[in-house]
Chains A and B, each alone.
Chain A
Amino acid sequence: MTAITLERRDDYWLARFLAMGSPCELLVDSAERALIAQLADLAFGEAKRIEQKFSRYRDDNIVHRMHHNHGAPVEVDEETAKLLDYADLCYRLSDGLFDITSGVLRKVWKFDGSDHVPAQEDIAALLPRIGWNKVTWSKPYLTLPEGMEIDFGGIGKEYAVDKTAQLLTARSNVSMVVNFGGDLFVTGLRANGSPWRIGVDDPDASGAHALAQLQLARGGVATSGDARRFLLKDNIRYGHILNPTTGWPVRDAPRSVTVAAPTCVEAGMLTTFAMLQGKNAEAFLKEQAVQHWIVW
């Protein structure tokens, strides 16, 4: 049994596999099965590599070492260093709202559509373990205080999309779409000169109804927000984007934000920033002058 399925569509090949907890797709504008098999293997390999490297559930990767060094500095590799630099910039650009140390909040917040909103004391108990400002990042050494965690979940998938696209375009110059669970990158115009048509999903009817259609020749699209991951209590809807300084979900956040940008990472970060803006999400994205779709 193979992890990758290949399907021939009318004028392109589609490879599908599971990685990073999402259904992943690779669309290749070619009729050659051998080529897509090769490219799909590469894509699967790169997606799994990144998944395993930054997973917090493994005991053999950099993330595990970071979490179990008891406050002593850890030397990180080049790739991890770049990600930490990026996270650091995003922390500053967002005035602290984007924080890769906020992952510990998952211990009390389970967004399963129920009304189990955690108690303030439980949230407050975690706040001392959150704060990028408490971390010492002096390339290539990361010093993480005891009890704190690094969570690359907020960038990981989009990063994997862009890295995979880079790897595949180095191998072949056919036009492709790398789509990991709705975060995607289009590498170029198709052979017949036409762009790929991307549907922007309506979260209320996933797959059934498109909010808009984008014709993309090259670039990334990312979506933040998930209509299914929320809590509802006393008529208040709690979205799953958490404010790391309070430990509570961002108030009045949109249910879904989709952005199109030159890279998937940039698109993803802009959706996250927009969600963090709460009710000002629309104004924020308008001022950044990016193509966007918001569902409230």
Chain B
Amino acid sequence: MKALRLLALVPAFFLGACALEPLQPWDRDLLAQDQMQLVPHPVNEYISEHIYFSKEAASGGAGVGGGGCGCN
């Protein structure tokens, strides 16, 4: 099944990442910036996801829970 094939690629990728040199504390400067966060603008993200949820059949992926509405 297509999904399982995709899933098999993943561990190889992340294991490869673990072999990279460990980051020094000062190398985390960029990662600490707001724009480098996985969700830089949580409220804007909430609004977008709400719009997509009410217009499309698919949902989720980035997190669990959130809240229901009668819009779909």
- In angstroms, Cα B70 to Cα A44, docked, is 66
Taking a contact as CB atoms under 8 Å apart, the answer to whether A197 and B32 are in contact is yes
Taking a contact as CB atoms under 8 Å apart, the answer to whether B30 and A10 are in contact is yes
Taking a contact as CB atoms under 8 Å apart, the answer to whether A199 and B29 are in contact is no
For B25, list chain A residues within 8 Å (CB).
199, 207, 210
- In angstroms, Cα B22 to Cα A150, docked, is 42
B13 on interface, CB distance cutoff 8 Å: no
Taking a contact as CB atoms under 8 Å apart, the answer to whether A11 and B26 are in contact is no
- In angstroms, Cα B32 to Cα A11, docked, is 13
Contact with B along A180-213 (1 / 0, CB 8 A): 0000000000000000010100000001101000
- In angstroms, Cα B25 to Cα A210, docked, is 9
Interface residues of B in 3-59 (CB under 8 A from A): 22, 24-26, 29-30, 32
For B32, list chain A residues within 8 Å (CB).
197
A9 on interface, CB distance cutoff 8 Å: yes
Whole-angstrom distance between the Cβ of B3 and the nearest chain A Cβ: 35
Whole-angstrom distance between the Cβ of B41 and the nearest chain A Cβ: 18
Whole-angstrom distance between the Cβ of A257 and the nearest chain B Cβ: 20
For B22, list chain A residues within 8 Å (CB).
208
- In angstroms, Cα B2 to Cα A81, docked, is 77
For A10, list chain B residues within 8 Å (CB).
29-30
Chain A: interface size category: under 10
A14 on interface, CB distance cutoff 8 Å: yes
- In angstroms, Cα B33 to Cα A197, docked, is 11
Whole-angstrom distance between the Cβ of B49 and the nearest chain A Cβ: 28
Closest B residue, CB atoms, query A7: B26
Closest B residue, CB atoms, query A14: B26
Closest B residue, CB atoms, query A215: B32
Closest A residue, CB atoms, query B27: A9
- In angstroms, Cα B32 to Cα A199, docked, is 11
Interface residues of A in 5-24 (CB under 8 A from B): 9-11, 14
For A207, list chain B residues within 8 Å (CB).
24-25
Interface residues of A in 201-247 (CB under 8 A from B): 207-208, 210
For A11, list chain B residues within 8 Å (CB).
29
Whole-angstrom distance between the Cβ of A190 and the nearest chain B Cβ: 12
Closest B residue, CB atoms, query A213: B32
- In angstroms, Cα B26 to Cα A14, docked, is 10
Closest B residue, CB atoms, query A199: B25
Interface residues of A in 120-174 (CB under 8 A from B): none
For A210, list chain B residues within 8 Å (CB).
25
- In angstroms, Cα B28 to Cα A210, docked, is 12
Whole-angstrom distance between the Cβ of B33 and the nearest chain A Cβ: 10
User: Can you report 6 A-B residue pairs in the complex whose CB atoms are below 8 A from each other?
Assistant: A9-B26, A10-B29, A11-B29, A197-B32, A207-B25, A210-B25
Q: A9-B26, A10-B30, A197-B29 are in contact. List 10 more A-B contacts (CB 8 A).
A: A9-B29, A10-B29, A11-B29, A14-B26, A197-B32, A199-B25, A207-B24, A207-B25, A208-B22, A210-B25
